[in-house]
Structure 1
Amino acid sequence: MCTTLGYGQSSIKEHLQPKQDSIKKKELLKSLGNGFLPSKYFNLDLRYLIKFNQYEGIRTGLGGVTNDAFSEKYRFNTYGVYGFKDHRFKYSIGGGFRLAKKTNTWVNLSYTDDLQETGSTKFLTDKRFFQFFEPRLLNIDLFHKHITKSIGLEHQITSKLLSESELSISNVNPTYSYSYVFNGESTNTFHLSTAKIALQWSPFNTIKTSDKNTEEIEEGYPKFTFQYAKSFKDVFGSNFGFSKFDFRTIHKIGSKNDAFSEITLVSGIAKGNTPLTHLYHAYPNNITKETILQRFSVAGLNSFETMYFNEFFSDKFATFQLKHFLKPFNVSGRYKPQMVLISRFAIGDMNNPERHQNVTFNSLKKGYTESGFELNKLLFGFGVSFTYRYGGYHLPEFSDNIAFKFTFNVSL
């Protein structure tokens, strides 16, 4: 009897082991897909291992965050990187503590000394998105230094509505020659005291709720993201007062296993005395070089491939992008290239461009249009893209309107 029971327990363990290994493998792949290499108490952040841009050259370092095995109520996160071209260390130190498990409410604090691309806007509520390398980053050369101290609150209002708010104090210094002129005074450093609030609404997500947690089973579309930011003049030494409202919606039509379309609309408006650092570009991704082959680089995911870096800046803008993914070509079980048809449009303008000194740029008031295609996953995740610029900002030289690049798509 004892022998039989022992054999039975052993058989059960042997039966469960492959399933447990499969679950662990799935969790590891999910973690790597989010950009983390897990360990017992601390997850290494793969975003900081190595990158490249035109200002820092090679940028390399380490970062990470504590996990639930360390604590479910407290977390610490940090990173440190070094740029070999600008010969400068950058770092961030932060942490948080949880106020309520059911609503996933956290208070977060951080101190950051780093760079940010001029004209870029980040939504507080964006999920972590990891790429093996970031295509646009390779060619960006317009950055500003910032030292930012912040305190934030993240809170799940409902299972389909996420909120984040933040109070921050920043010292901003452009790495390029730039000054803002207003009422006869010229300023080239910006001290900002800013409040932000962001909402991400996903009304069509499929949610599974249990006593322990709420889990997203399937993403639904459309999704909507709103963000409002206000910089207060004369508060904690702030020398600029302005406000910004940003909006984004993403919609997908069809199934990923078949042909489907993806529509993305992004818009923003800034009011008040807003330095160039905090205005808008339209996600350009083209190098200012003479020939098509000299401009050959990596296509981004949602960028304007024929728009040259630093060509346009706006204090109000909107972009519309339509991607239609054809059904993958079933060449073999593993080899399935896919063609994507793309069309993009941007419009914008700027009040008082004369206030921005030592920089040259255009407006987008005539409307910017480009269309093209991608042929993805041709070899080891690599593919090619071709895009043509036309309409209000079509250039006199035919070849200057063409962007020919390669693409890179890998998913875990």
Structure 2
Amino acid sequence: MDICVRAVVYGIWIVIGVLTGAWQASAQTTVRGVVADADTKEPLPFVNIVFKGTTIGSTTDINGRYTITTHTTNEELHFSFLGYKTVIRKVKVGETQEMNVRLTSDAQVLQEVTVTTQGRERYRNKNNPAVDLVREMIEHKEQNRMTHYDYVEYEQYEKLQMSLSNLSDKFKERKLFRKYKWMFENVDTTTIKGKALLPIYLQENLTDKYYQRSPEQNKSVVKAHQKVSFDDYIDNQGVSTYLNYLYNDIDIYENNITLLTNQFLSPIANSAPTFYKFYITDTLKDQTPKLVELSFAPRDAGGFLFQGRLYVTLDSNYAVQRVDMTVNKNINLNWVRELFINQEFEQMEDGKFQVVKSRMRADFGITQGRGGLYGERVVSYKNFVINQPRPEGFFDGEKKQQEKEAEGHTEEYWLANRHDSLSHAESKVYQNIDSLQKVPSFRRTMDIATLLLAGYKSFGWWELGPVNTFYSFNPVEGFRLRVGGRTTPKFNERLYFETYGAYGFKDEKWKYFLSATYSFTGKSIWQFPVRTLRVSYQHDMKIPGQELQFIQEDNFLLSFKRGVNDKWLYNDIWVVDYLHEFDNHISYRVGFKNWKQMPAGGLRYERESEDLLQPVPNVVTSEINLEFRWAPGEQFYQGKLYRIPIPNRYPIFTARFVGGIKNLFNSQYNYQNVALNIYKRVYLSQFGYTDVVLEGGYIFGTVPFPLLAIHRANQTYSYQLQSYNLMNFLEFVSDKYVSLSFDHYFNGFIFNKIPLLKKLKWREVATFKLLYGSIRQENDPRYNSAVFAFPTNDQGVETTYSLRPEPYMEASAGIANIFKLIRVDVVKRLSYLDHPEVSQWGIRARFKFDF
């Protein structure tokens, strides 16, 4: 399962699930139709449509179409557009209706402003003054950006809040929520007219920001920080990180703007005239400097593009003075019902305009007619200081103030230093959520939700789980039962224990695991940056060559496998491991591993002696392990089991060294194994993005095949990103190899242009994986009888191979976002098709949660 999903959903939506259930909103009024010119009958884009007395509004798209929905009882709908007389229409409350409107020109208004033809002629970029203006803005982008200055410093205030929206009276009266009625007294009906908001999450930051252009350096000093905490149930820091990733900083001058895990093309990107239509819809001559209202809309209504208005200065800067934009309702975006972005700019002492306030609002929900989740991020900037150098070494100091120093400020401090005041409902959210977590029934409900979503049931100092490993089956063990758990910080903040026991009813053997971990930071062993020492012992089973990401090997769903799956290992593994992470996301790991592996099932360890194959009962190795990892700018969500990275534009480098030492604790071999892995996500704007992974490795020394690189195979029916999905377990081994994989997500670039598929909001994916390697003669049983013979099947045919002379290749094409959760791939194996018991084609699926 792809887990930006489960982990973050578990982080945020666990609270929503407890508080919301499946409530019904009040009666819904929906109006849709087309607005056109009364004389020419041409559709009018960007017409303002609003319910009287509210801020509930919409605009027509490039084809004059609109849809507007409200849960209020307002009966009047206003249609207004520059150069036309306003039209007022009555609507039927609580019904869905179609309303086509014709607007009549207002000659008096037209004499006061300069406007374009508003779509009455075929749209062209050539000789279009709006496009000429955009090109001037593009040419002047760099001089209007903050990075144009040699030095900049300012104070930044950030507020991020999440609220449940449109709770009906019927919902509040449900038996489940009777004990929480006092929470509903904090509903806010004033911030967004037409929406009733119940705040459930709030975080605030006050930060001093410093920038130097050459050499480019940044520094942030967090002066104050506070947020709602659910630390007993979720990774609170991870939730904060993920929410900030969804509500990313917006720079209108960037070519691409990342929001809600997707990249949107800026309306003033270098290629904007190719993807957008532009119109001059007003001139504001009473402003200084004079402003032009520039309206824009996507040429492709389904693309990851904005629509809205830019207010542009007509002086020599061609700078943005204000931005109001949203996205088209036809966009291939999950769960998002509404999205609004507003930015305000002010003129600095040097005449340039810089952003002073940025506001992003998003309304999430499954359907239009039900309640949902409303989120808002407001960032404001003040106290700008331009081009005043800082002393040498200033940027080399502490980048971020210690967390404890930034927390614990009094409410008086916040009242004096907030750039914006909190609403009445927001001001109570800290106290209300803290009180809610002390209610026994709420804690019981959260415990159940944690068990179902994260797999653990907490008993205070002890957690039982993970539950998805309690039952599984395989050809060697038959039915397998397992139970285990681990201590929590309530047991000891520095020392942690974990254990499990399992029993196979076919092989009638017990398996078990025990570990002890010491935290040198005095914080949880899962809290970044980690610095721990871990000692563990495991007696259990494993499939050679199966490496899983974000999932346990004995997960019940992985019990279902294709083909022959009888080559297993019994393992006795001692591990001592030290991990040290730094704030700059450089980390290193040093460890020792003693591993005794014994073949099981259909796997045999055999060595040729006097022309006969003699069985070898086990392989014992002692290894020194070194790992270096650098992940610049990395962010992640820390789940109960795994740390799930949040992708960004930076590469991740991982280098590993393993050294086997003969005769140390009965070790039988000397060898050295080096490997390098590089991961990079490449964003391609409107064409989606590609995940690229390059890996290579080399093994020095003479070793049998169990100690060679056993390439990652997958015989389950799930699609695994890091494995070869049509390769059999233990099919290929190498002592030197290089691999390259591409996984491209088109984000609906093709399907959005096909009417039926456009409504389904499916997304295209394509992958290609290549693996090339070989085995030196000293490690190949065909040339060296001292190493183990390759495994065979029941007919005596070898089932393990070298990759020489051609590479292993497979490709897939698939559809993602089916029911907004499922990805299905058709996979084709492109080489080594003559191997026994292999599949040339396959269908694989996985769960993937995306916006």
User: What's the TM-score, normalizing by structure 2?
Assistant: 0.40
Aligned position for 1:356: 788
Q: Distance in 1 between matches of 2:839 and 2:543?
A: 25
- Counterpart residue number, 2:543: 117
Aligned partner (choices 303, 317, 338) of residue 763 of structure 2: 338
Taking a change above 3 Å as real, the CA distance of residues 206 and 301 of structure 1, as seen in their structure-2 partners, is: closer
**Distance in 2, Cα, partners of 1:381 & 1:59:** 30
CA distance in 1, matches of 2:697, 2:201: 47
2:566 pairs with one of 135, 141, 150:
141
Q: Deviations 1:72-105 (Å, cap 9, x if unpaired)? A: 1111111222334433221101111122348532
Name the aligned partner's letter for residue 278 of structure 1: L
After TM superposition, the structure 1 = structure 2 runs for residues 66-145 of structure 1, keeping only pairs within 5 Å, are: 66-101=487-522, 104-119=530-545, 138-139=561-562, 140-145=565-570
Aligned counterpart for 1:378 among listed residues 800, 818, 835:
818
Mapped to 2, the partners of 1:396 and 1:167 lie a distance apart of 37
How big is the shift at 1:404? 2.2
Confirm or deny: 8 A CA contact 1:163 1:198 kept in the other structure.
yes
Deviations 1:281-316 (A, max 9, x none): 3323359xxxxxxxxx33322322333333322122
Preserved contact between residue 815 and residue 824 of structure 2 (Cα < 8 Å):
yes
CA contact under 8 A between 1:154 and 1:163: conserved in structure 2?
yes
Aligned residue runs from structure 1 range 207-222, under 5 A = 219-222=648-651
Counterpart CA distance in 2 for 1:235 and 1:369 is 39
- Tell me the distance in 2 between the aligned counterparts of 1:52 and 1:255: 43
Q: How does 1:268-287 map to 2 (within 5 A)?
A: 268-286=697-715
Contact 1:386–1:404 under 8 Å retained in 2: yes
Q: Distance in 1 between matches of 2:673 and 2:801?
A: 21
Return the alpha-carbon distance in structure 1 between the equivalents of residues 744 and 816 of structure 2. Answer: 13
Per-residue Cα deviation, 1:191-217 (whole angstroms, up to 9, x for no partner): 22211111221023269xxxxxxxx98
- Measure, in 2, the Cα distance between the counterparts of 1:183 and 1:240: 22
Query: Of the candidates 6, 19, 40, which is equivalent to residue 200 of structure 2?
Result: 19
Tell me how far apart the structure 2 counterparts of residues 46 and 258 of structure 1 sit (CA, whole Å): 40
**Correspondence list, 1:9-408, <5 A:** 15=186, 19=200, 24=230, 27-28=233-234, 35-39=454-458, 40-43=460-463, 44-46=465-467, 48-101=469-522, 104-119=530-545, 138-139=561-562, 140-175=565-600, 176-180=603-607, 187-205=616-634, 219-254=648-683, 259-286=688-715, 297-328=717-748, 336-351=761-776, 352-354=779-781, 355-357=787-789, 359=791, 360=798, 361-365=800-804, 366-379=806-819, 381-391=821-831, 393-395=832-834, 402-408=840-846
Aligned residues of 2:545 and 2:713 also touching (Cα < 8 A):
no
Moved more, 87-96 or 273-282: 273-282
Q: Distance in 1 between matches of 2:233 and 2:846?
A: 24
State the AA in 2 paired with 1:86: D
Alpha-carbon distance, 1:232 to partner: 0.6
| Contact 2:649–2:682 under 8 Å retained in 1 | no
Structure 1 337/71 Cα, relative in aligned 2: closer, same or farther at 3 Å? Answer: farther
Q: Which amino acid aligns with 2:574?
A: K
Given residue 789 of structure 2, which amino acid in structure 1 is its aligned partner? Answer: Q
CA contact (8 A) 1:253 1:261 kept: yes
Q: Using the TM superposition, give the Cα deviation of residue 26 of structure 1 relative to its aligned residue in structure 2, in angstroms.
A: 11
In 2, are the aligned partners of 1:376 and 1:407 still within 8 Å (CA)? no
Partner of 2:666, secondary structure, is coil
Q: Spell out, residue by residue over 1:32-68, the C-alpha distance to the aligned partner (whole angstroms, 9 max, x if none).
A: 7994425122333245223444433443312222222
Most deviating of 50-59 and 93-102? 50-59
Q: 1:52, 1:138 within 8 Å by CA — same for their partners in 2? A: no
Shift of 1:376: 3.0
Q: 1:113 to 1:411 in 2, by over 3 A?
A: farther
Rate the CA distance shift 1:182–1:38 in 2: closer, same or farther, 3 A. farther
CA contact (8 A) 1:282 1:319 kept: no
Please tell me whether the aligned partners of residues 97 and 107 of structure 1 are also in contact (alpha carbons under 8 angstroms). Answer: yes
Q: Does the CA contact (< 8 Å) of 1:105 and 1:156 recur in 2?
A: yes
Contact 2:820 2:849 in 1 (8 A): no
User: SS of the counterpart of 2:621?
Assistant: strand
Is the alpha carbon distance of 1:356 and 1:218 closer, same or farther for their aligned partners in structure 2, counting shifts above 3 Å? closer
Instruction: Give the match for residue 164 of structure 2.
Output: none
Q: State whether residues 200 and 223 of structure 1, in contact with CA within 8 Å, keep that contact through their aligned partners in structure 2.
A: yes
Residue identity opposite 2:826 in structure 1: F
Is the 2:823–2:848 contact (alpha carbons within 8 Å) kept by the matching residues of 1?
no
1:340 CA displacement? 1.0
User: What is the SS of the residue equivalent to 1:221?
Assistant: coil
**Structure that is richer in strand per residue:** 1
**CA separation of 1:256 and 1:93: change in aligned 2, threshold 3 A:** farther
Q: Which residue identity is paired with 1:363?
A: S
TM-score (norm 1): 0.77
Q: Output the CA distance in 1 between the equivalents of 2:822 and 2:506.
A: 28
Q: Which moved more, 1:105-114 or 1:166-175?
A: 166-175
Q: Secondary structure at the match of 1:277?
A: helix
Closer, same or farther in 2 for the Cα pair 1:402/1:169, shift >3 Å? Answer: closer
- Separation in structure 1 between the aligned mates of residue 686 and residue 584 of structure 2, nearest angstrom: 27
- Matching residue of 1:7: none
Q: Give the deviation of 1:226 after TM superposition.
A: 1.5
Which of structures 1 and 2 has the bigger CA Rg?
2
Q: 1:67 to 1:165 in 2, by over 3 A?
A: same
3-state SS of paired residue (1:284):
coil
The alpha carbon displacement at 1:249 in A equals 1.7
Q: What is the rounded CA distance, in whole Å, between the counterparts of 2:780 and 2:593 in structure 1?
A: 27
- Tell me if structure 1 keeps the 8 A contact 2:544–2:730: no
Percent of residue pairs identical: 20
Structure 2 distance, partners of 1:187, 1:86, is: 20
Contact 1:119 1:313 in 2 (8 A): no
Instruction: Report the CA distance between 1:186 and its aligned residue.
Output: 7.2
